[in-house]
Amino acid sequence: MNPVIGLDISKEESHGKAFLERGKPFKGTFHFEHTRDGLANLHQALKDVESVSKQRPSLILEATGHYQSPVVQFLEEHHYIYIIINPLISNRLRKSQLRKVKTDAADAYLLSELYYKEEFEPFRKRAVQLLNLRYLTRQYESLSKMCVQTKLQFQAVLDQVFPAYKGVFGAMYSGISLRFLSEFPTSHSVLQTDEDTIKAKIKAKMKELLFSKRGRSEDWINQRVQELIQSIPGIGHKIAATILSEVGEVVRFDHPKKLVAFAGIDPSVFASGKFTATRNRITKRGFRQLRYALVMAVQWGLIRSRNTRLKEFYERKRTEGKPHKVAFVACANKLVHWLHAILKSKKVFRLA
């Protein structure tokens, strides 16, 4: 037998459907909450299947962000083999059905059927770490956007209460600048204070700032994370972390073109009868965060010719008559091929 349980993960509870082997469902659909008692019910369902089939069942579920974390952690602790698939795969099968049914129970049933139709690799322990890294990079992106919005709002208010302040300290959001504003929040407060007092305040704030940095050595300040991907000019630690977390286990992609398609930067193809489209946009499948990281990597690599190999490739495409956007996407495609080779071979990138 080849038992499997399909799990449809929701926010606070999940539904499951067990099969003993292909075409042989076991009992009805069950559901459980993401609590200690609920996971105990899941464990009992797993034991029931194991008792009948005489072997441990595998589990298959869709990637649902952080909602799946309690279930995945439970499966890890009890050493069950599980498979996490891209929702695009299950959606493709769902659309091929004649009846249009979308329920939690139906989705669990569909996932179990999908297990027997496709060949999937079990989820790896390292992939959990990459998944956590993905959460962190996406949270970082969200916080960065909030920071930008806060700065814009701060600037708008400051233009009203202290219009002449911009440019005084160079970096408006530096430590000394913010400390000064905490002492003198408006132009009126500055005008009401004599020059010597202001100078003394600034010196005091600078001493306070310098004192707070004591204990940090020069080596600590200059320390940089050295990752394999960071050997490619234009890719820093943040872009590298984003790419690694979004790609996940590179062994899933036996050819770089599959990774290109996963990133959604492969050209779409449209042909019908004698008509074949000559202007094909990229598919934009996969994760937006990965495409954005690749775009930033290409952009930083081309600026000031940081990545000479990428710059030469871009210029060659432009010489061939390709528009800027087409050449840029071609660079992103080339970059993915390099990344695939680096992650596979675990060797650093070389410019020559």
Contacts of 205 (CB under 8 A, 6+ apart): 176, 179, 180, 183
Please enumerate in sequence order all residues whose Cβ is within 8 A of that of 253, keeping only pairs 6 or more positions apart, or say none: 247, 259, 262, 340
d(Cα 168, Cα 54) in Å, to the nearest integer?
75
By CB atoms closer than 10 A (0-12, 13-18, 19+), residue 214 is exposed
The predicted pLDDT at position 219 comes to 44
- Quick one: tokens of 42? 């899941």
Q: What's the pLDDT at 100?
A: 60
Sort residue 29 into left (φ over 0), alpha (ψ -120 to 50) or beta.
beta
**Phi first, then psi: what are they for 31, rounded to 5°?**
-135, 155
CA pair distance 143, 55, nearest whole angstrom = 46
The whole-angstrom separation of Cα 288 and Cα 89 is 17
| pLDDT value of position 218 | 37
Ranges in the chain, pLDDT < 50: 213-228, 275
- pLDDT the model gives residue 231: 60
**Single-letter amino acid, residue 126:** R
Q: Which two tokens stand for residue 13?
A: 């509870």
Q: Could you write out the DSSP letters of every residue in 107-163?
A: HHHHHHHHHHHS--PPPPHHHHHHHHHHHHHHHHHHHHHHHHHHHHHHHHHHHHH-T
Confidence at residue 165, expressed as pLDDT on a 0 to 100 scale: 75
Kindly report, residue by residue over 120-159, the tens digit of the pLDDT. 766 655 566 677 777 788 888 888 889 889 888 888 888 8
Which residues, listed in sequence order, are joined to residue 14 by a DSSP beta bridge?
A: 9, 32
Q: Give residue 3's pLDDT.
A: 92
The continuous run of DSSP H or E covering 6 comes out as strand 4-9
- Residue 1 is predicted with a pLDDT of 76
Instruction: Write down the pTM of the prediction.
Output: 0.49
Q: What is residue 205's predicted lDDT score, i.e. its pLDDT? A: 62
Cα maximum dimension of the chain: 87
Distinct helix (H) and strand (E) counts, the chain: 14, 7
- Does residue 224 contact residue 271 with C-beta atoms inside 8 Å? no
